[in-house]
Every structure is written in structure tokens, then in C-alpha cells.
Amino acid sequence: MLKRQWLWTVSAAVGLLALTSASAQAQVVQVSRGADSRHAIGFTFGGFFPRGEDTRDSQDTILADLDDLAIEVKDFRNVTFGGEYVYAVNDFLEAGVGIGYYSKAVDSVYANFVNTDGSEIEQELKLRIVPITATLRFLPIGRTAAVQPYVGGGLGIFNWRYSEIGDFVDFSDNSIYSNRSDPFVADGTSFGPVVLGGVRFPIGDALTMGGELRYQWATGNTGGLDNGFLGNKIDLGGATANFTIHFRF
């Protein structure tokens, strides 16, 4: 009986050792392949900073709203997130495609006008941008270095939507009206250049983490006064600062 238990224990131990060895060997092979991989899936999280007043398109509707509403361009700053696929063409050049998401609703009031009862005349302005980008990156010291800086650029396709809803002043007779049942809305798809730069740090062979700064230029057509907006354009430009993480395979 004892001999049978001893044989079962030894067999189990040998089997466990064999399984552990096979698993370790598979991990070594996987890590080795990860070091030579050309593909990566990445995720980004950060903030979008719209272009300031002095650099925005002169026909931008948000810029026009600043004359009457108690808002600032910086009120439209907000978090952004996205994902991308990256392919290493060689040790110094990478191509990528990605998609992101940004949305911000800003509550506003008229700076110099109130209702007859003294209450504020309130609105909500909302901007949403979904950028789809195709980029090339140049890594001057290569993608196998301990620290990997890079610069690049490409083309962005920006799906966007801008709306204004609430109470407004008709300056032809200073009357107040509401558009809550029929908000001012403009949307579309615009194109523009994107430039970027960043630095990343490998963690093992299959993971990198880092930071990146992007800048985009694009404008959309709002339809102007015929569509309820003070400006004919909506400026979609600005900077994005991201934390990045990529998984190589």
C-alpha cells in the first residue's frame, strides 16, 4: 500500500515537473518571438486641448459665441481615449491606424443679458470629435532601444457633431426664445493633417508604455446663421496629450 502511494506521488511529481518545464519553454519562445514582433495593439488615454482664441479659425462659431456668452475656449478641454494598430516596417519606421473619442458639453449663460425676472439665460454647447488617423512614425534610435523617442505625422479623418440648445436672445428686438424642441445642430466629416511626437519604454519583450503629444488641424462647416450658428465654421484643431500602452505580438 505504501509502495503504491509512493509510486503515485513520484508519478504526480514527474508529471507536474514536465508540465512546468513545457510551460516555461513556451513562455521563453513567446518572449523571444515578442522581441522580434512587428505588430502592436495600443490604447491611449489623455486630454484634448482645443486651439486657443488667438489661433482659431476666424469664422469659428465658438469664437463668435465668446462675444455674448460667459464661456472660454478652455472650457471645452476634456478627457480623450482611443486605440490603434501599429506595424513596424523596419527598425526605424512604423505605420499605424487609430481611432479616438472626445466629447464635451459646456453650460453657458449670456454675459450681459438676463431674463425679465432676473434669472440667467442658459444654454448648453456640445462638441464631439471622433478622429480616425493614419500615421507614419520615425524612431531615430530604433525600436529595440531601452528608451524609444519618435516623431511622425499623417492624415486625420474627423467625424464631428456640434450643437447648441437652450434659450437665446434675438438681437433684432431683444426678445428671448427657446430652441429646446429643435436644437441647433451641425455635423459632418472633415480632413486634416496630424503631427505627433512621443517617447516609450519597453517593459519586457511584449509591452511598451509611454507618453505622446499630437496636434491636429481641421474645420467643419456649420451652415452659419441659416442653421442657427453665429459662425460658418467649427474649429476642430488642438493638441492631445496621451498616456500610451502597446502590446506587441
Instruction: Provide the CATH number for the domain around residue 221.
Output: 2.40.160.20
Task: Tell me what the mean pLDDT of segment 188-210 comes to.
Answer: 97
Same domain flag for 121 and 32: no
Same domain flag for 89 and 5: no
Q: How confident is the model at residue 205 (pLDDT cuts 50, 70, 90)?
A: confident
Same domain flag for 15 and 52: no
Same domain flag for 47 and 5: no
Sign of CA dihedral 26, 32, 34, 36: negative
pLDDT at res. 70 = 98
Same domain flag for 136 and 244: yes
Given a cut of 70, is residue 190 above it in pLDDT? yes
Task: Tell me what the mean pLDDT of segment 47-66 comes to.
Answer: 98
Same domain flag for 60 and 29: no
| Residue with more model confidence, 202 or 14 | 202
* Euclidean distance between CA atoms 192 and 116, whole angstroms: 45
Same domain flag for 19 and 91: no
Task: Tell me what the mean pLDDT of segment 49-71 comes to.
Answer: 97
Task: Tell me what the mean pLDDT of segment 98-106 comes to.
Answer: 98
Given a cut of 60, is residue 234 above it in pLDDT? yes
pLDDT at res. 30 = 41
Distances (CA, A) of 57 to 102, 152, 192, 236: 20, 25, 14, 9
| Residue with more model confidence, 41 or 21 | 41
Same domain flag for 216 and 199: yes
**Number of domains, the chain:** 2
pLDDT in tens, 152-175: 999 999 999 999 999 999 999 999
Q: What are the phi and psi torsion angles at 138 (to 5°)?
A: -110, 125
Q: What is the mean pLDDT of the chain?
A: 89
pLDDT at res. 18 = 39
Q: Which domain covers residue 76, as residue numbers?
A: 38-248
- The pTM for the full model equals 0.85
Task: Tell me what the mean pLDDT of segment 196-222 comes to.
Answer: 97
Task: Tell me what the mean pLDDT of segment 96-108 comes to.
Answer: 98
Same domain flag for 88 and 107: yes
Strands 207-216 and 238-248: antiparallel
Same domain flag for 25 and 50: no
Q: Which stretches does DSSP call E strand in 115-232?
A: 120-138, 148-170, 175-178, 184-203, 207-216, 219-221
pLDDT in tens, 75-101: 999 999 999 999 999 999 999 999 999
Same domain flag for 47 and 121: yes
pLDDT at res. 136 = 98
* 3-class state of residue 16 by DSSP: helix
